[in-house]
Amino acid sequence: MNQLLGFLILGTTLLLAFLIFANLNQANSKVNRWFGCFFLCIFLIQFNDLLEKTGPLKTRMLINDFIGIIDFIIAPVLYFSVSYFIKPGRKWRVKDNLHFVFAFVMLFLLLISLLIDVKSPTVADKKNALIIINAFNLVFCLQVIIYCVMSYRKIITYQKKLFLYTSNMDAIDLKWLKQVVVCILIITGLWLIDNVFKLARNNVYFDQFASLIYLVGIFYIAYFSLKQKELFDLDKQEKEEIDAIRIENSSLEENKKKLISDNELEVMKSNLIQLMDNKKPFLDPELSLFKLASQLNISSHILSYIINNSCGENFHQFINRYRIEEAKKMIQNPNMRHFSLMGIGFEVGFNSKTVFNTTFKKSTGQTPSEFKNNSKY
């Protein structure tokens, strides 16, 4: 049963690596190459483990040592997968090679060891080798944990920026990727516990349980990576404006600069409200700060300043407030009875039932269905 699960994980991982490399959705090609490499690393690690368990005399061979170098590659590969998810247009930099220095050092030491004439190992040598292997296992776990934390922080920073310029984050907020990182941390923790206390070696049930957890984790990661949507990177000007908005929002109230006079602020606010009421751009589910700014013929930085200072909201809150008000009107309109609540959610610009329900309740204190039941036609 144990080996069967091992072969199942091995075959599944290889198939998923192939599917991700194939990029059937034709989305985020760089991301898929990195994520495909991540799954390929998982496959090789699992293959190495299975080779040790089923190989001749179940002892570590030279091929195990070479494949073992993958242990120190997988964490940086995960990190760069996340980096390219967040910035699809990211370019490779020279300093990025430093993330793989440890793996190259290990490869160099391994090649040097081939030139050394090794005598038959003594009992003391075997004990020392076991200590070294355990030390490297610990380094591997620490490396994975560090890179997972770095990846998680990258996603959090990315999500905070989204509130500044997009109205619908459901498809691009990468919550699932955050959960993937947590999933990898859990798997790493389980693997570390197993290695420290030798649970799998002494308890066949724990070994089977751990294998099932690994298999479920792999399927979970693969499911979301295969259904990902195309992510578009911001151009240079948009990035500069978002960075300026972020710095401005993080500044203390007394340090904030006035971008326009109070009179100009009132005029531009009036133009913005008039546009929102008459043309209803918020009905566009893909509406962004940049799209709305272009309709007003002003910069996105100025538009963000107007929304923040005259409405006391960020762009995301501002647009969704209008969407909820429009949804309330539609729910209360007898002529709209043929629309389902979800249909109304889509009509006003939401592209997710969960986001619509959550935003509606946060705004009104009621779910859409509760609001409908309490409304009088």
Q: Is 137 exposed, middle or buried (0-12, 13-18, 19+ CB in 10 A)?
A: middle
Asked if residue 17 has pLDDT above 60, the reply is yes
CA dist list (Å): 301 to 152, 216, 227, 242, 294: 28, 44, 33, 7, 11
Task: Please state, for a pLDDT cut of 90, what percent of the chain lies above it.
Answer: 37
Asked if residue 324 has pLDDT above 80, the reply is yes
Q: How far apart are CA 128 and CA 138, in angstroms?
A: 15
Identify whether the C-beta of residue 349 lies closer than 8 Å to the C-beta of residue 283.
yes
Q: Average of pLDDT values for 136-150?
A: 90
Q: Which of 6-10, 93-97, 164-168, 236-240 has the highest mean pLDDT?
A: 93-97
Asked if residue 172 has pLDDT above 80, the reply is no
Cα four-point dihedral sign 347, 350, 352, 354 = negative
pLDDT for the residue 366: 94
Give every CB contact of residue 63 below 8 A, 6+ residues apart in sequence. 51
* Residue whose C-alpha is closest to residue 175's, from 358, 347, 6, 340: 358
Per DSSP, 288 falls in state B
CA 351 to chain centre: 20
Render pLDDT for 240-259 as a digit per residue (tens, 0 to 9): 777 777 777 766 455 667 88
Higher pLDDT, 17 or 27: 17
Identify whether the C-beta of residue 228 lies closer than 8 Å to the C-beta of residue 22.
no
pLDDT for the residue 57: 44
Worst-scoring range by mean pLDDT, 36-50, 311-325, 341-355? 36-50
Tokens encoding 157: 């920073």
Q: What's the CA angle centered on 89, arms 84 and 92, to 5 degrees? A: 70
Confidence at 344, pLDDT banded by 50, 70, 90: very high
pLDDT for the residue 218: 81
* Residue whose C-alpha is closest to residue 35's, from 213, 215, 224, 188: 224
Render pLDDT for 37-91 as a digit per residue (tens, 0 to 9): 998 998 998 888 787 776 554 556 778 888 889 989 999 999 999 998 888 878 8
Mean pLDDT, the chain, integer: 84
Cα four-point dihedral sign 236, 237, 238, 243 = positive
Asked if residue 329 has pLDDT above 90, the reply is yes
Render pLDDT for 182-198 as a digit per residue (tens, 0 to 9): 888 888 888 777 777 76
Tokens encoding 123: 């009992």
Identify whether the C-beta of residue 367 lies closer than 8 Å to the C-beta of residue 353.
no
Asked if residue 118 has pLDDT above 60, the reply is yes
pTM: 0.83
- Secondary-structure percent of the chain, ordered helix, strand, coil, rounded to 5: 80, 0, 20
Confidence at 273, pLDDT banded by 50, 70, 90: very high
* Residue whose C-alpha is closest to residue 104's, from 72, 77, 140, 143: 72
